[in-house]
Amino acid sequence: MKHTLFVFTSLLLASFMVSSCSSSKKLGKGSKKELNSTYLLNQLNKHKIDADWFSSRIRVEYDDGNTNVSGTATLRMKKDSIVWLSVKKFGLELARVQVTNDSVYVLDRINNEYIVEGLEYLASSYGLPASLIGLQDFLLGNAVVFGKPEMEVEALGPTYKLSAVDDQFKSEYWIDASSFFVHKMAFDDKANEQQVNVLLEEFGSIGNQDNFSYLRTLDAKGKALGNTSIGLKFSKVEIDVPKDIKFDIPSKYTRAD
């Protein structure tokens, strides 16, 4: 259960700070110095994917330096309501996870245990912020940018580097100068002494858009996260197709400490 929950806390951390979208197109036009952060943020918002329902298969690779595990997850989510995940290996369900606006639920099928906690549990246990909306935006591939209204812009040939820095937090985004999609992010949470880097690759279509990242890598480092790498490979993606979501806690299961 530890690894299943930790994968989700790491995802929640990254999604709270930012989600992103990118492009499968090659880098094209060069960046122009006169563009400001407001314009770039508006461009990111233009490419936001909106879906009432979203489902996918995900190949998950988890490595924290001590443990290297992999598995396949079935993801289903309803906008502003719920994220549901079933994790399997060799055809057997290992865990089931449900996140709502105020709670996280985890079933450990191996040990017949469960967790039901408020989202604040993630913050108190791991030092991580938690947000359902942020998590959903991350899974959709949307850009959720935290920073000052006027962020610093640096023109770097085929990309723009958009950044915001204060005493507690630093965020950086590398944006394609042609498509205005983000393809890399870096975050430094100085207050909690943790860093998260996000790389997006293998982009393709979803609905009538072509900016969905089918491969994502999160590298995290810090007191709560240790040195953790999570790879997510999406397949069989569907949007706006309602799915059954079931989460029942068997009576024989005991609550984990």
- In this prediction, residues 30-38 reach a mean pLDDT of 65
The CA–CA distances, whole Å, from 242 to 49, 117, 198, 245 equal: 17, 26, 29, 9
37: helix, coil or strand?
Answer: helix
What is the extent of the structural domain holding 217? Answer: 2-239
Kindly report the backbone phi and psi dihedral angles of residue 83, in degrees, each rounded to the nearest multiple of 5, phi listed first: -125, 130
Residue 241 binned pLDDT confidence (cut-offs 50, 70, 90):
very high
How high is the pLDDT of residue 23?
Answer: 30
CATH code: domain of residue 40: 2.50.20.10
Place of tokens 């975050």: 187
175 within some domain: yes
Number of domains in the chain: 1
- The pLDDT value given to residue 29: 47
pLDDT at 126: 54
Calpha distance 257→229 (Å, rounded): 26
pLDDT category of residue 151 using cuts at 50, 70 and 90: confident
In a domain, 250, yes or no: no
Closest among 129, 124, 63, 74 to 97, alpha carbons compared: 74
DSSP β-ladder status, 194-206 and 226-239: unpaired
Confidence of residue 20 (pLDDT cuts 50, 70, 90): very low
Cα 134 from Cα 77, distance rounded (Å) = 13
Q: Looking at the predicted structure, is the pLDDT value of residue 35 above 50?
A: yes
pLDDT category at 55 given cuts 50, 70, 90 is very high
pLDDT computed for residue 209 by the predictor? 76
Question: Is 85 within the bounds of a domain?
Answer: yes
